[in-house]
């Protein structure tokens, strides 16, 4: 347990450079491992989830070495499309849902069997969304089945019997970048081409990274087509821009604390991840985004963000906008709680399937601090209504073992009128181990 008493802050000033984006980092390691060459990855984040990705590939026979003391530069010695080796023991992936779902896709196509295991929280998260389309491709996968109300769902551990796959056309029922990416990785090995149609565009890091590695990929609006059985080509070096999801906590804090100004350097400006910035601007935030056509190796847009304090007003966020800010909804709830007027976030039911049920964790915590929140349900669709209050008061709140709930509540605590006690912040290491140290440097 790592409890924290957060004291209210008065302002935030300075400049910050954050470690690399977690979603991009997983994909960089995965594609480097199945390319017949060495790839150097720079600005690699030192968080737990990315550690599990590296450990998984070491177990699959890939040599990965740190190139500096902090491990922010690594070299991956890829073995080619068919070069992975059977792991001698089950591959434990902790709480890393992205690693888990992407590896189910990748390993479904190998010439050997694998078993993927997870910690308690990830073992409660649904896997049928990736397993179902992979079975349609011919994958042989067994997982822990459970009847949930009228539905059957499947959970970790997952046992995969490697099989020859064939391309399919798959219209995704849920907007999920993890599902899309798992199918794309399986599609790299499938006979013929695989077509994926997304209901709403989700983060496109896999598509960008596959293009960088010269995979046979075609994009037409919401449709992605990938050709199987083609060796990838390493770009030799990849620089990972800073994680916009980690940056979002600082963006909201600098916006809401008076007399604040913050510069965030070299951050990922991928449009499929900029939902929070767009929403905050609509709420009245003063955020300047300066993109760079950079010399930095990679496939992702990069630039600086400057944030100045502003007064916010409530807004409506539509269901189609949710994928671009799915991970930022908890911190957006904090912003909306302190905005003037009503905010409505539509179609946020996917938050129930994250590291914890984030609709419950955030509404329970913010209500304890005086926020006015209601959940509106219409069959499976859920929306959240927040009526802004002039200030939040400190309270005893819980992280629910979830990194994004924990960091959002630290920010809520800094913005409150009195001290806030948070029960356990260990979970922050999942994505952002330096979060508290960086805050300390910037906050007054």
Q: What is the CA radius of gyration of the chain?
A: 21
| Out of 32, 48, 114, 178, the residue judged to bind ligand S3P by CB under 6 A | 178
* 326 is a site residue for ligand S3P (CB under 6 A): yes
**d(Cα 323, Cα 435) in Å, to the nearest integer?**
24
* 49 is a site residue for ligand S3P (CB under 6 A): no
Give min distance, CB of 113 to ligand S3P, in A: 25
DSSP code of 243? P
The contact pattern for ligand S3P, residues 52-91, with x = CB under 6 A and - = no contact, is ----------------------------------------
Q: Are 155 and 118 in contact (CB under 8 A)?
A: no
Q: Are strands 140-148 and 169-171 parallel, antiparallel or unpaired?
A: unpaired
Pick between residue 43 and residue 98 the one whose CB is nearest to ligand S3P. Answer: 98
Q: If binding means CB under 6 A, how many residues of this protein chain bind ligand S3P? A: 9
* 327 is a site residue for ligand S3P (CB under 6 A): yes
Pick between residue 203 and residue 398 the one whose CB is nearest to ligand S3P. Answer: 203
Phi, psi (deg, nearest 5) at residue 25: -60, -45
Q: Where does this chain touch ligand S3P (CB under 6 A) — which range of 63-71, 111-119, 175-183, 364-372?
A: 175-183
Residue in 49, 204, 243, 327 annotated catalytic: 327
Pick between residue 59 and residue 203 the one whose CB is nearest to ligand S3P. Answer: 203
* 299 is a site residue for ligand S3P (CB under 6 A): no
User: If you count DSSP H runs as helices and E runs as strands, how many of each does the chain have, helices first?
Assistant: 12, 23
| Out of 53, 87, 98, 365, the residue judged to bind ligand S3P by CB under 6 A | 98
Pick between residue 22 and residue 79 the one whose CB is nearest to ligand S3P. Answer: 22
Over 57-110, what HEC string results? HHHCCCEEEECCCCCCEEEEECCCCCCCCCCCCCEECCCCHHHHHHHHHHHCCC
Query: Is it true that the peptide bond before 146 is cis, omega within 30 degrees of 0?
Result: no
Name residue 193's beta-bridge partners. Answer: 227
Q: 3-state DSSP call for residue 269?
A: coil
* 23 is a site residue for ligand S3P (CB under 6 A): yes
Pick between residue 300 and residue 327 the one whose CB is nearest to ligand S3P. Answer: 327
| Out of 181, 234, 310, 405, the residue judged to bind ligand S3P by CB under 6 A | 181
The reply to whether 424 belongs to the active site is no
**d(Cα 372, Cα 413) in Å, to the nearest integer?**
16
Pick between residue 304 and residue 328 the one whose CB is nearest to ligand S3P. Answer: 328
* 176 is a site residue for ligand S3P (CB under 6 A): yes
Q: Are 76 and 31 in contact (CB under 8 A)?
A: no
Q: 3-state DSSP call for residue 30?
A: helix
Interface residues with ligand S3P (CB under 6 A) are 23, 98, 176-178, 181, 203, 326-327
Active centre residues (catalytic): 327
């Amino acid at each position: 347990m790592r409890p924290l008493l957060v004291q209210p802050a008065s302002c935030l000033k300075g400049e910050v450079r954050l470690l690399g984006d977690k979603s991009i980092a997983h994909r960089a390691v995965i594609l480097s491992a199945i390319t017949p060459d060495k790839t150097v990855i720079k600005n690699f984040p030192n968080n737990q989830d990315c550690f599990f990705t590296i450990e998984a590939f070491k177990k699959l026979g890939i040599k990965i070495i740190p190139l500096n003391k902090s491990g922010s530069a690594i070299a991956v010695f890829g073995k080619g499309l068919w070069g992975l080796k059977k792991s001698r023991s089950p591959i434990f992936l902790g709480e890393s849902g992205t690693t888990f779902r992407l590896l189910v896709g990748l390993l479904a196509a190998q010439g050997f069997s694998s078993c993927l295991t997870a910690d308690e929280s990830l073992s409660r998260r649904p896997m049928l969304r990736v397993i179902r389309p992979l079975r349609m491709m011919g994958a042989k996968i067994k997982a822990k089945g459970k009847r949930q109300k009228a539905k059957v769902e499947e959970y970790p551990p997952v046992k995969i019997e490697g099989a020859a796959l064939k391309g399919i056309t798959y219209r995704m029922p849920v907007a999920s970048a993890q599902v899309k990416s798992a199918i794309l990785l399986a599609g790299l090995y499938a006979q013929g081409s695989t077509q994926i149609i997304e209901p709403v565009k989700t983060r496109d890091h896999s598509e960008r990274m596959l293009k960088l590695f010269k995979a046979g990929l075609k994009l037409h609006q919401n449709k992605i087509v990938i050709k199987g059985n083609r060796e990838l080509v390493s770009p030799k070096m990849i620089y990972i821009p800073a994680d916009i999801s980690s940056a979002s906590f600082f963006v909201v804090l600098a916006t809401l604390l008076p007399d604040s100004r913050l510069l965030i350097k070299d951050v990922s400006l991928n449009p499929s991840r900029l939902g929070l910035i767009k929403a905050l601007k609509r709420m009245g935030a003063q955020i300047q985004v300066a993109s760079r056509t950079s010399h930095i190796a990679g496939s992702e847009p990069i630039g600086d963000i400057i944030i100045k304090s502003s007064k916010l007003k409530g807004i409506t966020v539509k269901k189609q906008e949710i994928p671009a800010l799915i991970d930022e909804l908890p911190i957006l709830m904090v912003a909306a709680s302190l905005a003037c007027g009503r905010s409505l976030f539509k179609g946020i039911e996917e938050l129930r399937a994250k590291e914890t049920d984030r609709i419950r964790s955030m509404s329970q915590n913010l209500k304890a601090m005086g926020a006015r929140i209601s959940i509106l349900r219409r069959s499976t669709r859920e929306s959240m209504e927040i009526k802004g209050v002039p200030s939040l008061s400190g309270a005893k709140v819980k992280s629910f073992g979830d990194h994004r709930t924990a960091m959002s509540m630290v920010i809520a605590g800094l913005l409150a009128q009195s001290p806030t006690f948070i029960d356990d912040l260990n979970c922050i290491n999942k994505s952002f181990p330096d979060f508290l140290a960086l805050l300390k440097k910037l906050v007054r």
